[in-house]
Structure 1
Amino acid sequence: LKALKGREDGKPILIIISDAREADRFISDKSHAFQTATEKFWPGALTLVATARANVPDELTAGTKTIGVRLPSDEAVRALVRACGGALTATSANPSGKPPARTALEVANYFSTNIDLIIDGGAATSEQPSTVLDVCGDVPRLIREGVITREQLEQNFRTLEVYD
Protein backbone atom coordinates (compact mmCIF):
# COMPACT_ATOMS: atom_id res chain seq x y z
CA LEU A 1 0.00 0.00 0.00
CA LYS A 2 2.77 2.43 0.92
CA ALA A 3 4.73 1.56 -2.22
CA LEU A 4 1.63 1.83 -4.42
CA LYS A 5 0.87 5.31 -3.11
CA GLY A 6 4.50 6.43 -2.88
CA ARG A 7 3.84 7.11 0.79
CA GLU A 8 6.55 7.75 3.37
CA ASP A 9 7.23 5.09 6.01
CA GLY A 10 6.49 7.39 8.96
CA LYS A 11 2.76 7.74 8.25
CA PRO A 12 0.30 5.45 10.05
CA ILE A 13 -2.42 3.59 8.14
CA LEU A 14 -6.08 3.92 9.09
CA ILE A 15 -8.38 1.03 9.97
CA ILE A 16 -12.03 1.14 8.94
CA ILE A 17 -14.40 -1.09 10.89
CA SER A 18 -17.82 -2.63 10.27
CA ASP A 19 -19.28 -1.74 13.66
CA ALA A 20 -18.16 0.06 16.81
CA ARG A 21 -17.37 -3.18 18.71
CA GLU A 22 -14.58 -3.94 16.22
CA ALA A 23 -12.59 -1.00 17.66
CA ASP A 24 -11.82 -3.21 20.69
CA ARG A 25 -9.54 -5.33 18.48
CA PHE A 26 -7.22 -2.36 17.91
CA ILE A 27 -7.61 0.07 20.81
CA SER A 28 -6.23 -0.68 24.27
CA ASP A 29 -7.90 2.09 26.25
CA LYS A 30 -11.16 3.85 25.46
CA SER A 31 -10.96 7.28 27.05
CA HIS A 32 -14.03 9.30 28.01
CA ALA A 33 -13.32 11.42 24.90
CA PHE A 34 -13.37 8.25 22.76
CA GLN A 35 -16.73 7.22 24.23
CA THR A 36 -18.25 10.67 23.68
CA ALA A 37 -16.97 10.90 20.10
CA THR A 38 -18.32 7.48 19.12
CA GLU A 39 -21.72 8.17 20.70
CA LYS A 40 -22.10 11.53 18.94
CA PHE A 41 -20.39 11.06 15.57
CA TRP A 42 -20.19 7.35 14.63
CA PRO A 43 -20.93 6.08 12.12
CA GLY A 44 -19.56 9.03 10.22
CA ALA A 45 -16.58 10.90 8.81
CA LEU A 46 -14.62 10.95 12.06
CA THR A 47 -11.31 9.13 12.43
CA LEU A 48 -10.39 8.59 16.08
CA VAL A 49 -6.75 8.23 17.04
CA ALA A 50 -6.36 6.16 20.20
CA THR A 51 -3.74 4.07 21.99
CA ALA A 52 -3.15 0.90 20.00
CA ARG A 53 -3.15 -2.58 21.50
CA ALA A 54 0.31 -4.12 21.74
CA ASN A 55 -0.49 -6.64 18.97
CA VAL A 56 -1.25 -3.95 16.34
CA PRO A 57 1.60 -4.10 13.81
CA ASP A 58 4.08 -1.22 13.53
CA GLU A 59 3.25 -1.11 9.81
CA LEU A 60 -0.13 0.33 10.83
CA THR A 61 0.99 2.55 13.71
CA ALA A 62 4.27 3.71 12.11
CA GLY A 63 5.82 3.25 15.55
CA THR A 64 3.50 5.83 17.18
CA LYS A 65 1.76 3.27 19.42
CA THR A 66 -1.52 4.85 18.30
CA ILE A 67 -4.03 3.78 15.67
CA GLY A 68 -6.63 5.66 13.65
CA VAL A 69 -10.03 3.96 13.50
CA ARG A 70 -13.16 5.04 11.61
CA LEU A 71 -16.67 3.62 11.37
CA PRO A 72 -17.91 4.78 7.93
CA SER A 73 -21.48 6.01 7.52
CA ASP A 74 -21.95 4.17 4.21
CA GLU A 75 -23.76 0.90 4.96
CA ALA A 76 -22.44 -0.71 1.74
CA VAL A 77 -18.86 -0.01 2.86
CA ARG A 78 -19.59 -1.41 6.33
CA ALA A 79 -21.11 -4.54 4.73
CA LEU A 80 -17.98 -5.04 2.62
CA VAL A 81 -15.76 -4.56 5.68
CA ARG A 82 -17.95 -7.00 7.65
CA ALA A 83 -17.62 -9.59 4.84
CA CYS A 84 -13.83 -9.16 5.02
CA GLY A 85 -13.69 -9.93 8.74
CA GLY A 86 -14.79 -6.65 10.31
CA ALA A 87 -11.77 -4.44 9.66
CA LEU A 88 -9.73 -3.24 6.68
CA THR A 89 -6.86 -0.84 6.18
CA ALA A 90 -7.77 2.27 4.24
CA THR A 91 -6.21 5.40 2.81
CA SER A 92 -7.32 8.01 0.33
CA ALA A 93 -7.34 6.71 -3.25
CA ASN A 94 -4.47 8.70 -4.71
CA PRO A 95 -0.71 8.68 -5.06
CA SER A 96 0.95 10.74 -2.35
CA GLY A 97 0.80 14.44 -3.22
CA LYS A 98 -1.99 14.07 -5.81
CA PRO A 99 -5.67 15.01 -5.35
CA PRO A 100 -7.82 12.17 -3.96
CA ALA A 101 -9.75 10.19 -6.57
CA ARG A 102 -13.49 10.91 -6.42
CA THR A 103 -14.70 8.19 -8.83
CA ALA A 104 -13.75 4.63 -9.81
CA LEU A 105 -12.49 5.97 -13.15
CA GLU A 106 -10.11 8.35 -11.37
CA VAL A 107 -8.86 5.45 -9.22
CA ALA A 108 -8.27 3.42 -12.40
CA ASN A 109 -6.39 6.33 -13.97
CA TYR A 110 -4.07 6.44 -10.96
CA PHE A 111 -3.58 2.72 -10.29
CA SER A 112 -5.11 0.48 -13.00
CA THR A 113 -1.94 -1.46 -13.80
CA ASN A 114 -1.07 -2.01 -10.13
CA ILE A 115 -4.30 -3.24 -8.52
CA ASP A 116 -6.51 -6.24 -9.19
CA LEU A 117 -9.97 -4.88 -8.39
CA ILE A 118 -11.84 -1.58 -8.21
CA ILE A 119 -15.34 -1.57 -6.73
CA ASP A 120 -17.43 1.27 -8.12
CA GLY A 121 -19.60 2.54 -5.29
CA GLY A 122 -20.42 5.78 -7.07
CA ALA A 123 -18.74 9.15 -6.79
CA ALA A 124 -17.48 10.34 -3.41
CA THR A 125 -20.21 12.28 -1.63
CA SER A 126 -18.01 14.87 0.07
CA GLU A 127 -15.25 17.17 -1.10
CA GLN A 128 -13.79 17.21 2.42
CA PRO A 129 -11.75 14.52 4.15
CA SER A 130 -12.75 12.90 7.41
CA THR A 131 -12.09 14.83 10.59
CA VAL A 132 -9.22 13.37 12.65
CA LEU A 133 -9.49 13.58 16.44
CA ASP A 134 -6.88 12.32 18.93
CA VAL A 135 -8.73 10.77 21.88
CA CYS A 136 -5.77 9.18 23.68
CA GLY A 137 -6.54 11.28 26.76
CA ASP A 138 -9.66 12.80 28.22
CA VAL A 139 -9.11 16.11 26.42
CA PRO A 140 -9.55 15.48 22.69
CA ARG A 141 -7.16 17.09 20.23
CA LEU A 142 -8.29 18.10 16.75
CA ILE A 143 -5.63 16.98 14.27
CA ARG A 144 -7.51 17.70 11.03
CA GLU A 145 -10.81 19.47 10.53
CA GLY A 146 -12.92 17.89 7.84
CA VAL A 147 -16.56 16.94 7.36
CA ILE A 148 -17.19 17.22 11.10
CA THR A 149 -16.33 20.80 12.01
CA ARG A 150 -14.46 22.23 14.95
CA GLU A 151 -17.70 23.91 16.03
CA GLN A 152 -19.55 20.58 16.08
CA LEU A 153 -16.80 19.08 18.23
CA GLU A 154 -16.77 22.08 20.59
CA GLN A 155 -20.52 21.61 21.13
CA ASN A 156 -19.85 18.10 22.45
CA PHE A 157 -16.61 18.52 24.42
CA ARG A 158 -16.00 20.98 27.26
CA THR A 159 -12.39 21.32 26.18
CA LEU A 160 -10.91 20.78 22.73
CA GLU A 161 -7.24 21.21 21.90
CA VAL A 162 -6.32 22.06 18.33
CA TYR A 163 -3.16 20.69 16.74
CA ASP A 164 -1.24 23.35 14.83
Structure 2
Amino acid sequence: MNGMHVSPHRLRRAARTLAEGGIVAHATEGVWGLAADAFDADAVWRVIAAKQRDVARGLIVVAADSAQLAPLVDPDAGAAWQRAVESWPGPTTWLLPARAGAPQWLTGGQPTIALRETAHALTRALCGEFGGPIVSTSANVSGRPPVDSPWRARACFGDRIDMVLGGRADTPGRASTIRNASTNETIRG
Protein backbone atom coordinates (compact mmCIF):
# COMPACT_ATOMS: atom_id res chain seq x y z
CA MET A 1 0.00 0.00 0.00
CA ASN A 2 1.57 3.30 -1.09
CA GLY A 3 2.42 5.70 1.74
CA MET A 4 1.69 3.03 4.39
CA HIS A 5 4.98 2.11 6.01
CA VAL A 6 4.25 2.04 9.75
CA SER A 7 3.28 -0.69 12.16
CA PRO A 8 -0.30 -1.10 13.41
CA HIS A 9 1.03 -0.35 16.92
CA ARG A 10 2.46 3.03 15.83
CA LEU A 11 -0.77 3.83 14.02
CA ARG A 12 -2.81 3.13 17.19
CA ARG A 13 -0.35 5.20 19.23
CA ALA A 14 -0.70 8.12 16.79
CA ALA A 15 -4.51 7.95 16.97
CA ARG A 16 -4.30 7.90 20.77
CA THR A 17 -1.95 10.91 20.68
CA LEU A 18 -4.52 12.82 18.61
CA ALA A 19 -7.34 11.79 20.97
CA GLU A 20 -5.30 13.10 23.90
CA GLY A 21 -4.86 16.52 22.25
CA GLY A 22 -1.47 15.87 20.72
CA ILE A 23 0.13 16.84 17.42
CA VAL A 24 1.41 14.15 15.06
CA ALA A 25 3.80 14.71 12.14
CA HIS A 26 2.99 12.37 9.25
CA ALA A 27 3.42 11.85 5.53
CA THR A 28 0.52 12.90 3.27
CA GLU A 29 -0.13 12.77 -0.48
CA GLY A 30 2.61 15.23 -1.37
CA VAL A 31 4.23 16.74 1.71
CA TRP A 32 4.70 16.05 5.39
CA GLY A 33 1.89 17.33 7.56
CA LEU A 34 1.05 18.25 11.12
CA ALA A 35 -2.13 16.58 12.34
CA ALA A 36 -4.44 17.38 15.23
CA ASP A 37 -8.03 16.57 16.17
CA ALA A 38 -10.02 19.04 14.05
CA PHE A 39 -12.50 19.61 16.90
CA ASP A 40 -9.92 20.12 19.67
CA ALA A 41 -9.37 23.90 19.77
CA ASP A 42 -6.31 23.68 22.04
CA ALA A 43 -4.58 21.13 19.81
CA VAL A 44 -5.31 23.12 16.65
CA TRP A 45 -4.07 26.35 18.26
CA ARG A 46 -0.84 24.50 19.11
CA VAL A 47 -0.47 23.64 15.40
CA ILE A 48 -1.12 27.25 14.41
CA ALA A 49 1.47 28.47 16.95
CA ALA A 50 4.08 25.88 15.86
CA LYS A 51 3.64 26.93 12.23
CA GLN A 52 3.53 30.65 13.13
CA ARG A 53 0.51 30.75 10.84
CA ASP A 54 -2.12 33.46 10.58
CA VAL A 55 -5.37 31.92 11.85
CA ALA A 56 -7.30 33.90 9.20
CA ARG A 57 -5.85 31.58 6.53
CA GLY A 58 -7.85 28.61 7.84
CA LEU A 59 -6.64 25.02 7.77
CA ILE A 60 -7.20 21.92 5.67
CA VAL A 61 -9.26 19.17 7.29
CA VAL A 62 -8.88 15.62 5.99
CA ALA A 63 -10.80 12.45 6.65
CA ALA A 64 -11.02 8.79 5.68
CA ASP A 65 -14.46 9.28 4.12
CA SER A 66 -16.82 12.09 3.19
CA ALA A 67 -19.23 11.18 6.02
CA GLN A 68 -16.58 12.39 8.49
CA LEU A 69 -16.50 15.76 6.69
CA ALA A 70 -20.23 16.29 6.05
CA PRO A 71 -20.94 17.82 9.50
CA LEU A 72 -18.63 20.73 8.60
CA VAL A 73 -20.43 21.61 5.35
CA ASP A 74 -23.46 23.86 4.94
CA PRO A 75 -26.46 21.57 4.36
CA ASP A 76 -27.44 23.80 1.40
CA ALA A 77 -24.08 23.23 -0.37
CA GLY A 78 -25.83 20.93 -2.88
CA ALA A 79 -23.90 20.88 -6.16
CA ALA A 80 -20.67 22.08 -4.54
CA TRP A 81 -20.72 19.19 -2.06
CA GLN A 82 -21.58 16.75 -4.85
CA ARG A 83 -18.65 18.01 -6.97
CA ALA A 84 -16.25 17.41 -4.09
CA VAL A 85 -17.60 13.98 -3.13
CA GLU A 86 -17.44 12.77 -6.76
CA SER A 87 -13.72 13.62 -6.93
CA TRP A 88 -12.77 11.85 -3.69
CA PRO A 89 -10.79 10.09 -2.46
CA GLY A 90 -7.94 12.01 -3.98
CA PRO A 91 -5.39 14.79 -3.66
CA THR A 92 -7.88 17.63 -4.27
CA THR A 93 -8.84 19.85 -1.36
CA TRP A 94 -12.15 21.63 -1.91
CA LEU A 95 -13.25 24.95 -0.45
CA LEU A 96 -16.86 24.33 0.51
CA PRO A 97 -19.50 26.51 2.15
CA ALA A 98 -18.98 26.03 5.90
CA ARG A 99 -21.84 25.00 8.14
CA ALA A 100 -22.96 27.76 10.51
CA GLY A 101 -20.99 27.30 13.69
CA ALA A 102 -18.04 25.52 12.06
CA PRO A 103 -15.00 26.16 14.26
CA GLN A 104 -13.28 29.46 13.44
CA TRP A 105 -9.90 27.81 14.03
CA LEU A 106 -10.67 25.71 10.92
CA THR A 107 -12.34 28.32 8.70
CA GLY A 108 -10.20 31.30 9.65
CA GLY A 109 -13.47 33.20 9.99
CA GLN A 110 -14.18 32.71 6.27
CA PRO A 111 -17.50 31.44 4.89
CA THR A 112 -15.72 28.39 3.41
CA ILE A 113 -13.85 25.42 4.83
CA ALA A 114 -11.03 23.44 3.14
CA LEU A 115 -11.81 19.70 3.09
CA ARG A 116 -10.32 16.56 1.53
CA GLU A 117 -11.14 12.88 1.65
CA THR A 118 -7.58 11.69 1.40
CA ALA A 119 -6.38 8.92 -0.88
CA HIS A 120 -3.07 8.61 1.01
CA ALA A 121 -3.15 5.15 2.60
CA LEU A 122 -1.46 6.15 5.86
CA THR A 123 -3.49 9.33 6.34
CA ARG A 124 -6.72 7.39 5.63
CA ALA A 125 -5.66 4.76 8.14
CA LEU A 126 -4.83 7.44 10.73
CA CYS A 127 -8.25 9.12 10.28
CA GLY A 128 -9.95 5.73 10.42
CA GLU A 129 -8.12 4.64 13.57
CA PHE A 130 -8.74 8.05 15.16
CA GLY A 131 -12.39 7.91 14.14
CA GLY A 132 -12.85 11.39 12.75
CA PRO A 133 -11.49 14.28 10.74
CA ILE A 134 -8.09 15.77 11.46
CA VAL A 135 -6.35 19.00 10.63
CA SER A 136 -3.51 18.12 8.28
CA THR A 137 -1.50 21.17 7.36
CA SER A 138 1.95 21.20 5.79
CA ALA A 139 4.76 20.64 8.27
CA ASN A 140 6.59 23.91 7.97
CA VAL A 141 6.91 27.30 9.57
CA SER A 142 4.74 29.66 7.47
CA GLY A 143 6.60 30.94 4.44
CA ARG A 144 9.17 28.15 4.46
CA PRO A 145 9.18 24.90 2.46
CA PRO A 146 7.51 21.87 4.07
CA VAL A 147 9.79 19.33 5.71
CA ASP A 148 10.36 16.15 3.72
CA SER A 149 11.33 13.54 6.29
CA PRO A 150 10.66 12.36 9.85
CA TRP A 151 13.95 13.66 11.18
CA ARG A 152 13.42 17.08 9.57
CA ALA A 153 9.98 17.24 11.20
CA ARG A 154 11.55 16.60 14.59
CA ALA A 155 14.40 19.04 13.89
CA CYS A 156 12.00 21.80 12.79
CA PHE A 157 9.38 21.41 15.51
CA GLY A 158 11.15 19.65 18.41
CA ASP A 159 8.89 19.22 21.42
CA ARG A 160 6.08 21.24 19.79
CA ILE A 161 5.00 17.94 18.20
CA ASP A 162 4.11 14.92 20.29
CA MET A 163 4.83 12.14 17.81
CA VAL A 164 6.35 11.52 14.41
CA LEU A 165 4.31 8.77 12.75
CA GLY A 166 6.37 8.23 9.64
CA GLY A 167 5.32 6.97 6.24
CA ARG A 168 6.17 8.53 2.91
CA ALA A 169 4.48 10.89 0.51
CA ASP A 170 2.82 9.48 -2.62
CA THR A 171 4.01 12.38 -4.80
CA PRO A 172 6.85 14.03 -2.82
CA GLY A 173 6.96 17.80 -2.99
CA ARG A 174 3.56 18.27 -4.62
CA ALA A 175 1.00 19.80 -2.27
CA SER A 176 -2.69 19.05 -2.80
CA THR A 177 -4.61 21.02 -5.38
CA ILE A 178 -7.10 23.44 -3.81
CA ARG A 179 -10.29 24.25 -5.71
CA ASN A 180 -13.42 26.24 -4.96
CA ALA A 181 -16.29 23.73 -5.07
CA SER A 182 -18.90 26.41 -5.82
CA THR A 183 -17.08 27.88 -8.84
CA ASN A 184 -14.71 24.99 -9.76
CA GLU A 185 -11.90 27.58 -9.82
CA THR A 186 -8.40 26.30 -9.02
CA ILE A 187 -6.92 28.23 -6.09
CA ARG A 188 -3.64 26.28 -5.84
CA GLY A 189 -2.58 23.99 -8.67
User: Normalising by the residue count of structure 2, what TM-score does the alignment of the two structures yield?
Assistant: 0.69
1:32 maps to 79
Instruction: Confirm or deny: 8 A CA contact 2:80 2:96 kept in the other structure.
Output: no
Counterpart position of 2:96: 50
**Range that drifts further, 82-91 or 23-32:** 23-32
Give the partner amino acid of 2:184. Answer: P
Over aligned residue pairs, what C-alpha RMSD do you find?
1.6
Question: Alignment length, in residue pairs?
Answer: 142
Q: Of Structure 1 and Structure 2, which has the larger fraction of its residues in helix?
A: 2
Long gaps (5+) in structure 2: 1-46
For structure 1, the 5+ residue unaligned runs are 146-164
User: Which amino acid is 1:36 matched to?
Assistant: R
**In 1: Cα distance, 2:169 partner to 2:69 partner:** 27
Are 1:104 and 2:138 matched, yes or no?
A: no
TM-fit CA distance, 1:142: 1.2
- Which structure shows the higher strand fraction? 2
Once residues 185 and 81 of structure 2 are traced to their aligned partners in structure 1, the CA distance between those partners, rounded to angstroms, is 11
Letter in 1 for 2:135: T
Q: Note if contact 2:94-2:114 (Cα within 8 Å) is conserved in structure 1.
A: yes
Question: Using a 3 Å threshold, how does the CA distance of structure 1 residues 50 and 73 change in structure 2: closer, same or farther?
Answer: same
Alpha-carbon separation, structure 2, partners of 1:114 and 1:47: 26
Aligned equivalents of 2:69 and 2:55: distance in 1? 24
Runs of 4+ residues deviating >6 angstroms = none
Larger relative contact order (Cα-Cα within 8 Å, sequence gap ≥ 6)? 2
* 1:37-65 Cα shifts (integer Å, max 9, x gaps): 432x3111100111111131111111102
